[in-house]
């Protein structure tokens, strides 16, 4: 795979071994709520942090940090829809405080977790409402 380094515009190539590690790293991220940092993750696969980050972004279109946040927020959304308590969700997703989780959720989705169910029910009502509804 070739990437263009924006600062020097030289092609960047990743070793096949580095590229082959990305699916395994993705699987680790998908299966755990680990708060491991990228350096430790790269170390466990015996590659450099920069190589892992670059190859991951090349193959998945987003960096590891953004991918981890996306996975956590999707899991949080599902847990909210399943009726889980915010404190339980924050604990499960390794947030130190429920306030930190709520802030991250709001930044990601635009609403606080307690408003999520309301937004979802309003949205679903709009989807099932007949097109002539409300016209009189």
Per residue in 87-118, pLDDT (tens digit) is 999 999 989 999 999 999 999 999 999 888 77
| Angle ∠(51,55,60) on CA atoms, nearest 5 | 150
Is 136 among the domain residues?
A: no
Residues contacting residue 56 through CB under 8 Å, at least 6 positions apart: 22, 25, 26, 63, 64, 67
- The answer to whether residues 74 and 116 belong to one domain is yes
Is 92 among the domain residues?
A: yes
pLDDT, tens digit (0-9, with 9 covering 90-100), for 50-76: 999 999 999 999 999 999 999 999 999
Domain end marker among 41, 61, 81: 61
For residues 72 and 16, the model is more confident at: 72
Q: Quick one: pLDDT at residue 133?
A: 43
Q: Quick one: pLDDT at residue 12?
A: 66
Is 135 among the domain residues?
A: no
The whole-number average pLDDT for the span 128-132 is 46
Give the residue numbers spanning the domain of 21: 2-61
- The number of domains in the chain is 2
Is 7 among the domain residues?
A: yes
The whole-number average pLDDT for the span 25-44 is 82
């Amino acid at each position: 795979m070739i990437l263009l380094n924006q600062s020097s515009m030289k092609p960047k190539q990743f070793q096949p071994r580095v590229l082959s590690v990305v699916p395994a790293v993705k699987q680790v991220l998908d299966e755990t709520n680990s708060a491991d940092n990228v350096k430790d993750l790269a170390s466990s696969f015996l590659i450099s942090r920069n190589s892992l980050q670059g190859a991951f972004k090349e193959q998945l279109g987003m960096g590891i940090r953004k991918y981890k946040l996306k996975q956590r927020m999707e899991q949080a959304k599902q847990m909210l829809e399943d009726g889980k308590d915010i404190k339980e969700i924050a604990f499960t997703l390794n947030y130190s405080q429920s306030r930190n989780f709520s802030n991250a959720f709001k930044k990601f989705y635009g609403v606080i977790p307690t408003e999520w169910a309301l937004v979802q029910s309003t949205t679903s009502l709009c989807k099932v409402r007949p097109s002539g509804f409300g016209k009189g």
